[in-house]
Chains A and B, each alone.
Chain A
């Protein structure tokens, strides 16, 4: 018998197929849960709508990240090529009208900064990387990367109720319903 204290993470239920998962997600969305998630081996089209997920804020981060890149490149090129060390080639102007020569750099840095914002913004929003997840305590959960379709409803959701949530999951077609407990370190 284990002596460590355990904390309830929530219910994990398995669904037969992607479409069963999709329909179940719609029902959980409609019953008003907030802290829950779907797990499937591959992306399912339209599942975000079925889960009632809002649009990510990430595009806005990327937009301003990209703009920062454009401004950085312009400042860099302008200060070096016009202000500090004007480079005169073929009698072309060394002033603001040199801007066509800066465009490739401005373009590249826009892409680079956007790319960085996508990557790091995504990691921040999804709180990745992390060392462990409470669901790893489940023996069946590894199948989410192979052939299993799961829904997990967390216990910290205000609508969570040990009996009612379990019966809801069973009602909407969930199998192998399991109360996942994480070890409280």
Chain B
């Protein structure tokens, strides 16, 4: 550390703002792709021939939940930063908040999943419930004892209530925290009151976050097969969410830094810490994923093994084995190196790689279910049960690109709205002079 410490003279008094004309083009293109893609997707979800509608419902669910995990992770890092009274992250906290602030928007892409026309292909249990016509419990008592027992949790009014709560709850949390943080930027008398307020409100709202990541996973993903359950499911999705939102944060910070922003307030030390978190959650993801597999493999209970019977046979098994090496072994060995984590460019490459693996992970969570469920639900339309539906892959790409473009648009929009770091935070100098 030959350079002198950062002083308040080097902190931009009116904040470090992104030049909006620089990203206007990218933002415009992203918005256009999102608009056209979403319109096409809505057609494929509601108006196309039934065969397409059925398989595209899964594409949409995959893309929707993938980007939702990134946004939820942004909320997580914001909450964790506040509640752990952390000093190191103040310089990059605005990026956490910006990523989190995409949550309300990304949740809107789940609206099609609220319609029975889409649900009928995804959630078999809803079809059985709907066949009950009012007297659902009585109906379940006769047709499916498992659903009868699960009725207290898996029933339509409660499901809709929960989903609305997941959408509203965390949105209000992140909007509130971000407002609290950005209001500080222009306050002529910035004090510690906002810091303490953010810390206090992050404590109990962390519970809302935990419920959201766990139970959106239950309601949207685990419900694809109502017979199947895994007690590791929530924490498994959380591990991927925290890991990959950190990857997005690293990418955004590296990009801003290379564009000449975040000067003085971030250094290799910040990237080192974010790299360590990326590494830690790579290990955590592997630990949780293996634990889930291991418990199910050891116990060998029919209801539980179905998940891995689908995914660990045939060609899906190749992808699952690729996941073990690509999502854990390779990044684990590479991220062990300290120099790499201190170098924003090298770390950004690893972050992009991690995101690609997250795509594979979520593809394997959602898509192998498609051929089986559709064959079960409507064999007269979709034919017999099959491993994969030919041609459905293009729908996956369309849904992914549409929602992905929207994600990029809302993220860039949030980044451009306020200063890129909380320039009047009492801890900004502590964070700028970070050494670890």
Contact = CB atoms under 8 A, between A and B. Distances in A.
A50 to B, nearest CB: 7
B1 A101 contact: no
B290 A103 contact: yes
Contacts of A101: 298
B41 to A, nearest CB: 39
A49 B436 CA distance: 11
B24 interface: no
A59 B333 CA distance: 13
Given A45-B435, A46-B435, A90-B300, A100 B1 contact: no
A63 interface: yes
Given A45-B435, A46-B1, A46-B435, A100 B300 contact: no
A49 B1 contact: yes
A32 B294 CA distance: 56
Interface in A95-120: 100-101, 103-104
Nearest to B333: A63
B204 interface: no
Nearest to A45: B435
B294 A103 contact: yes
A45 B88 CA distance: 14
Contacts of B226: none
B435 A100 contact: no
B297 interface: yes
A90 B436 CA distance: 50
A58 to B, nearest CB: 12
B180 interface: no
B309 interface: no
B336 A100 contact: no
A46 B5 CA distance: 12
A63 B298 contact: no
B31 interface: no
A103 B286 CA distance: 12
Interface string B1-43: 1100000000000000000000000000000000000000000
Contacts of B300: 90, 92
B306 to A, nearest CB: 16
Given A45-B435, A90-B300, A100-B297, A63 B1 contact: no
Contacts of A50: 1
B159 interface: no
B105 interface: no
Contacts of B436: 45
Nearest to B294: A100
Contacts of B294: 100, 103-104
Interface string B336-347: 101000000000
A73 to B, nearest CB: 15
B46 interface: no
Contacts of A63: 336
B293 interface: yes
Contacts of B293: 100
Nearest to B337: A59
Nearest to B339: A55
A155 B364 CA distance: 65
A145 B297 CA distance: 54
Interface in A1-48: 26, 45-46
Interface in B321-370: 336, 338
A132 B56 CA distance: 75
A70 to B, nearest CB: 11
A49 B267 CA distance: 15
A113 to B, nearest CB: 16
Contacts of A92: 297, 300
A104 B290 CA distance: 10
A45 B435 CA distance: 7
A103 B435 CA distance: 36
B308 to A, nearest CB: 11
A55 B294 CA distance: 38
A26 B2 CA distance: 8
Contacts of A45: 435-436
Nearest to A47: B1
B293 to A, nearest CB: 7
Interface in B283-316: 290, 293-294, 297-298, 300
Contacts of A100: 290, 293-294, 297-298
A69 B352 CA distance: 31
B104 to A, nearest CB: 40
A170 B338 CA distance: 37
Contacts of B435: 45-46
B301 to A, nearest CB: 10
A99 to B, nearest CB: 11
A26 B3 CA distance: 11
A50 B1 CA distance: 7
Contacts of A59: 336, 338
Contacts of B336: 59, 63
Interface of B: 1-2, 290, 293-294, 297-298, 300, 336, 338, 435-436
Given A45-B436, A100-B293, A104-B294, 16 more contacts: A46-B1, A49-B1, A49-B2, A50-B1, A55-B338, A59-B336, A59-B338, A63-B336, A92-B297, A92-B300, A100-B290, A100-B294, A100-B297, A100-B298, A103-B290, A103-B294
23 contacts: A26-B2, A45-B435, A45-B436, A46-B1, A46-B435, A49-B1, A49-B2, A50-B1, A55-B338, A59-B336, A59-B338, A63-B336, A90-B300, A92-B297, A92-B300, A100-B290, A100-B293, A100-B294, A100-B297, A100-B298, A101-B298, A103-B294, A104-B294
The 4 closest A-B pairs by CB, nearest first: A45-B435, A46-B1, A46-B435, A49-B1
